[in-house]
Amino acid sequence: MAFVLRRPFAISTAFKQSSKSSAAPLRAFHNRPFKSSQTNSFTSKPSSPISALTKSRDAFRRTYMQQPYQAARPDTGSLGQRLLYGAGIFGGTLVAINLLFNRETREDGGMPPFERKYLNETFLHTGLGVGIIGIAARALHQNGWSVRLMAANPWAVMGLGLAASIGTMYGTFNTSPDNYVQKYALWTGFNVTQAAILSPLMFMSPALLARAGLYTVAMMGSIAFVGATAKQEKYLYLGGPLLAGVAIVAVSGLAPLVLPATAARTLMWTDNIWLYGGLAVFGGFTLYDVQKVLHHARMAERGLVQRDAVNESISLELDFLNIFIRMVQILGMRNNRK
């Protein structure tokens, strides 16, 4: 029985190898040949049981023994090629955007020092805010906040999230830069609120999140370069059209909560509008916000408004987060197709 369990096809193969007479199967299970009887019933030519089992064993090995696994050699040039491809794509995108949107450069001899300083302060606060959001989201995810958030009612999460985000954002806007303790406290609260909403993204692969962050920085960096070197107030007219576009994107994002699951085609279109339309809209907002920062810098230089890099950074943070979320979704969809 143990022999049959280990090699279930060996016996049948042995039968097939010695099927010319009815005596061969009987002789395959005996080491000593039968004595010839008086009758002519068992007069066939004897066959060796060892040769039959050997043939069956060879057939079993040829059929059921797999080739040994050979590990693939790592491609040592893949990392360098990816870096070169990434640098080429970023450089090409920067040149294309600059040629397409920045044909009319500044006529005042370049960016004045006060505009450059104000823009650098805004970018610094933007980077700090994004860093706070990332660290806080990671800490909340490790404490189980993401699981509890995904198990909650989506309408409640959306309502409370919007209330907390809008409340801390407008509280920061309406706080004077001189009251820096309250202002930075509200700004930190705004960033933590964004981290609490975005913490479920930590379920994604760290490599995917890193790629999405790199692509977002590349996209915003190239657009910000165009906005900083373009003609003064060239793209400030985009505020109205972009506001209409973000309203359409927001409504399309709420479609899965309202439409039934049977409206598959409509949901597909609304998802594409939210994904790719939102990518275009918030790319335009990046261009608009950078020129708005430079416009406020000129107004602050003339004493019309106060310098407030914290307020300026919130707009760029929202642009970064919306582009980053869509980059994560696009990369996740690409991985699912593989």
pLDDT band at 112; cut points 50, 70, 90: confident
Q: Can you say how many angstroms the Cα of residue 160 is from the centroid of all Cα atoms in its chain?
A: 26
Q: H helices within 72-153, ranges in order?
A: 78-101, 113-142, 145-151
The partner residues of 230 in beta bridges, in order of sequence, read 105
User: Do 136 and 193 form a contact (C-beta atoms < 8 A)?
Assistant: no
Determine the pLDDT at residue 60.
46
Q: Check whether 95 has a pLDDT greater than 70.
A: no
Share of the chain above pLDDT 70, in %: 67
Which residue do the tokens 């972009």 mark? Answer: 242
Determine the pLDDT at residue 158.
83
Among candidates 196, 206, 207, which has minimal Cα distance to 168?
196
Core vs surface per residue 91-127: b (16+ CB within 10 A) or e: eeebeebbeeebeeebeeeebeeebeebbebbbebbe
188 or 20, which is more confident?
A: 188
Among candidates 318, 325, 317, which has minimal Cα distance to 125?
317
User: Do 87 and 37 form a contact (C-beta atoms < 8 A)?
Assistant: no
pLDDT digits (tens, 9 = 90+) for 32-86: 444 444 444 444 444 455 555 555 555 444 444 444 444 444 444 465 666 666 6
Distance CA 292, CA 232 (A): 10
Q: Check whether 24 has a pLDDT greater than 70.
A: no
User: Do 76 and 53 form a contact (C-beta atoms < 8 A)?
Assistant: no
User: Do 30 and 72 form a contact (C-beta atoms < 8 A)?
Assistant: no
Q: How many CB atoms lie within 10 A of CB 6?
A: 8
- Between 3-12, 225-234, 240-249, the lowest mean confidence (pLDDT) is in 3-12
pLDDT band at 289; cut points 50, 70, 90: very high
Determine the pLDDT at residue 4.
43
Determine the pLDDT at residue 81.
65
Among candidates 2, 9, 22, 4, which has minimal Cα distance to 56?
9
Q: Is 317 helix (H, G, I), strand (E, B) or coil?
A: helix
256 or 67, which is more confident?
A: 256
Q: What angle do CA 117, 129, 238 make, to 5 degrees?
A: 65
Determine the pLDDT at residue 30.
43
Share of the chain above pLDDT 90, in %: 41
Residue 53, CA distances (Å) to 30, 34, 61, 160, 302 in order: 12, 19, 12, 76, 101
Residue 67, CA distances (Å) to 10, 59, 61, 126 in order: 20, 15, 11, 56
- In degrees rounded to 5, what are phi and psi of residue 230? -75, 175
Q: Give the alpha-carbon dihedral of 83, 84, 88, 89, to 10 degrees.
A: -40
pLDDT band at 264; cut points 50, 70, 90: confident
Q: Check whether 281 has a pLDDT greater than 80.
A: yes
- Between 34-38, 57-61, 111-115, 159-163, the lowest mean confidence (pLDDT) is in 34-38
Determine the pLDDT at residue 56.
53
- In degrees rounded to 5, what are phi and psi of residue 249? -65, -40
Q: Check whether 17 has a pLDDT greater than 80.
A: no
Q: Give the alpha-carbon dihedral of 183, 162, 323, 173, to 10 degrees.
A: -20
